[in-house]
Amino acid sequence: MRNWRMLPNQGPRRPVMTLAEPDYRPGSGPLRLAVLHVRRNRPHREGAEVWYEVEGIEIGDDGRERGSRAVLVRGSRLHALPDNTGHHH
């Protein structure tokens, strides 16, 4: 008889973005972020650029969660962000 074990429901998978240093702030180097929330109703304008507040969980190079992170992300990087069903906005 096999020994079956149920895993806890972890909810829908969150989209993970990899951002280059010029595409987010504050920070340095590339950032992998599991996106929890994008505040599209509060854009930040800097000249011709539009930035949005993004909240998420930073993912390390080893794939482990490092903790909560809030950053400003260049708006042009968010158009390719899928929702948790895999559809792009």
pLDDT tens, 23-61?
Answer: 999 989 999 999 999 998 999 999 999 999 999 999 999
Three-class secondary structure of residue 89 per DSSP:
coil
Share of the chain above pLDDT 90, in %: 61
Please name the residue that has the structure tokens 């968010």: 78
Across the range 54-83, mean pLDDT stands at 88
Structure tokens at 44: 């930040």
Give me the phi and psi of 47, to 5 degrees please: 65, -125
Give this prediction's pTM.
Answer: 0.73
Choice between 20 and 87, residue whose per-residue pLDDT is larger: 20
Is-contact 73 36, C-beta < 8 A?
no
